[in-house]
A and B are shown apart, each in its own frame.
Chain A
Amino acid sequence: MRLVGRRLALYALTFWVAITVNFLLPHLMPGNPIQTMIGKLTGTVTPAEIRSIRLAFGGGVDKSLLSQYFTYIGQLLHGNLGFSFTNSASVSSILRQYVPWTICLIGVATIISFLIGTVSGALLGWTRGSRLDSLIPTATFFQATPYFFLATVMLLVFASNLHWFPPLDGYNISSVHPGWTWAFVFSALRYGQLPLISIVLSSVAGWMLGMRNMMITMVAEDFVLMSIAMGLPKRKVIWAAARNAVLPSIANLSLAIGLVVSGALLVELVFNYPGVGDLLLNAISSEDYPLIQGIFLIITLAVLAANLLADLVYLLLDPRTRTEVAP
């Protein structure tokens, strides 16, 4: 499994870069943001909390940058992401509360949109030149629309005008409390629908257009003509062509997942969904740097994990990658 090993090494390196950037930014930016932030906080939070914030940035200013860097990494390894002063809680405990919402929403939305997009893209590529091609300009428009704008329009039309969906929040905050009760799960499913639909609508076009182009190239391959000539049922031929066409689209997931997640985070913001995206906005507007940085690290980690998952799927689908010959 050389491929997996190599990809794993790449992702580990990427995560290290993310950590290093995260550490260096506040230290190298003009105006000394950490000092400013702590200056503003003095008097509003306890000295122990200030010490905790300082420690999460690598300790005091009296030490060298390198020793601060090692302190910072040591803190990360202990799971200490710092102290969020706006929420008066440690960053990791806040993240634990918000991350599951985001992973459920964006994870499910991404899988649904990838499936719908790939299947419809394969059909569009197969029936190239038919009436279905008129979908392409519409798909392009949806692809070019920012996720949050589409979400805003959906919110206006389907929640506040037609009242088909509840408008804001992740569950009915006035009637149910978070916990593993049926009432809560149903409420969460109900409130998740509109954000889910808008993420799927925004991201499906990208998968569809990519798959269509690959499918068109694939349909012209000899093996497709051969399988038709052999008299295989059409369903089987389409399946064979689609299986080969989907490979590049899975191989390119690494670019796409980052974009989809970034876009979807903002959808949470529109719907006031209790996920990481909404948290991030609040952290930005109150300049809660420890929280912003913690969110960045957790998003990076999630995106890299999703990439690794995509690589494993690729390995499963393409037998050529399983031979031990270097490509």
Chain B
Amino acid sequence: MKSLRFPRSPKVIVGLVVLGFFIFLMIFGPYLAPYSPDNTSFAPLLTPSAHHWFGTTSLGQDIFSQTLVGARATMVVAGVAGLAATMLSILIGISAGYIGGFTDDGLSLMSNVFLALPGLPLLIVIDSYLPVNSRSNSLIIGLIISLTGWAWGARVLRAQTMSLRNRDFVESARIIGEKRMRIMFTEVAPNLLPILASSLLFTILYSIGAYVTLAYIGLTSTSVWNWGTMLFWAQSNNAPLSGEWYWFVPPGICIALVGTSLALLNFGIDEFINPRLRAGGLSGRQRRRLGMPRRQRLGLTPVVRSVTTAPRISVQTQNPVTP
């Protein structure tokens, strides 16, 4: 496969930088934290200062340390859940779209049922029955979240697989006599890459929300620090009403930033799949510089023509072969 030309728009760059920062925190956060997140030896409810960047909780724990340590659990669970759900959706979506017939009917019905079921309440019911020691296990929580998050991806992948199923290159693979599994995963799947990536980002986004929500309502073990448990403690100590903003704003902003970075990357993928969306990303100044009309004319998709691609006759191209 040729290297893909991923749009290098500001959105994608900002998304990559922010996501990269949080992946860095996921790996190194616990080592960078100045104190233990459980250390209760400080004065309670200190406002942010040089010693405690984000202040302290009512138990005297350092909020900055909690935020850094919490990055790992939050991101790992979201990643596990996102990956597992995407695997499920690949397996179910591609099989349904490629095999067709009764298999398709059955699998589509299953994904439609899972789409219609409200995911979060289902998660809450499952999680409330989990024994307490399983609630602290990131892997188990991640896998349960993935059970409620695969259906959308499966539906999108199925639709795209169906449109690829009868293309010539798939037909020829079939005529050569390649096995069905091989066609599905080496011929069809690579062509679904942009959609797959978009579905992965979307699922990770969902998983972060689901995990943080479960933690926020007290359904994950409180011995594991994540951004949701921080919000749980802030809420149960009435921090928003007593004006202790520094307690719940840092974890909330972190969640929102990770989510935004994923959504921005998704924009990039959308623009890659549907170039019409791309020109929308130019600012007014960029448009003027490129000589584009400020308002777009209907029925026309503006194309950015950079100077280097303008036709220019050069001697080199006229005589490509030198004797």
Binding site for B on A (CB under 8 A): 10-11, 13-14, 17-18, 21-22, 25-26, 29-31, 33, 127-131, 133, 137, 140-141, 143-146, 148-149, 152-153, 155-156, 159-161, 167-168, 213, 216-217, 219-220, 222, 224-225, 228, 254-255, 258-259, 261-263, 265-266, 269-270, 280-281, 284-285, 287, 289, 292-293, 295-296, 299-300, 303-304, 307
Contacts and interface: CB of A to CB of B under 8 A. Distances in A.
A89 B240 CA distance: 32
Given A270-B240, A287-B128, A296 B116 contact: no
Given A149-B231, A216-B280, A262 B119 contact: yes
B125 interface: yes
Contacts of A10: 109, 112-113, 116
Given A146-B256, A269-B217, 11 more contacts: A10-B113, A13-B109, A13-B113, A25-B125, A146-B255, A149-B248, A149-B255, A159-B241, A160-B240, A220-B299, A299-B121
B221 interface: no
**Residue with the greatest number of chain A CB neighbours at <10 A, chosen from B125, B213, B301:** B125
Contacts of B243: 156, 160-161
**Residue with the greatest number of chain B CB neighbours at <10 A, chosen from A146, A216, A295, A299:** A146
B130 interface: yes
B281 to A, nearest CB: 8
A280 B216 CA distance: 13
Contact of A258 (B119, B279, B282): B119
Contacts of A29: 129-131
Contacts of A26: 129
A262 B281 CA distance: 32
Nearest to B252: A149
B218 A262 contact: no
Given A17-B117, A133-B280, A145-B256, A217 B274 contact: yes
B272 to A, nearest CB: 14
Contacts of B284: 131
Interface residues of B, number: 66
B245 interface: yes
**Residue with the greatest number of chain B CB neighbours at <10 A, chosen from A31, A152, A159, A213:** A152
Contacts of A220: 276, 299, 301
A49 B120 CA distance: 30
A289 to B, nearest CB: 7
Overall SS of chain B's interface:
helix
A146 B122 contact: no
Interface stretch (B42-50, B170-178, B259-267): B259-267
Interface in B233-276: 234-235, 240-243, 245, 248-249, 252, 255-260, 262-264, 267, 270, 274, 276
Interface string B105-147: 0000100110111111110111011110000000000000000
Interface stretch (B191-199, B290-298, B314-322): B290-298
Nearest to B292: A129
A167 B241 contact: yes
B32 to A, nearest CB: 24
B125 A213 contact: no
Contacts of B120: 258-259, 262-263, 265
A46 to B, nearest CB: 25
A259 B202 CA distance: 13
7 contacts: A13-B113, A25-B126, A129-B302, A156-B241, A262-B121, A270-B235, A300-B118
Given A152-B248, A220-B299, A141 B216 contact: no
Nearest to B234: A152
Nearest to B205: A144
B212 interface: yes
Nearest to A149: B252
Contact of A153 (B11, B117, B213, B249): B249
A41 B109 CA distance: 41
A130 B234 CA distance: 41
A246 to B, nearest CB: 18
B209 interface: yes
B128 A130 contact: no
A300 B148 CA distance: 14
Contacts of B276: 216-217, 220
Contacts of A224: 298-299
A217 B212 CA distance: 35
A109 B159 CA distance: 32
A300 B121 contact: yes
Contacts of A133: 280-281
Given A33-B129, A219-B298, A303 B124 contact: no
A38 to B, nearest CB: 15
A128 to B, nearest CB: 5
A318 to B, nearest CB: 18
Given A130-B295, A262-B118, A266-B213, A144 B128 contact: no
A13 B126 CA distance: 20
B117 A14 contact: yes
Given A146-B252, A160-B241, A307-B116, A289 B213 contact: no
B287 A129 contact: yes
Contacts of B255: 144-146, 149
A161 B243 CA distance: 8
B262 A144 contact: yes
Contact of B121 (A160, A222, A295): A295
B277 interface: yes
A114 B299 CA distance: 28
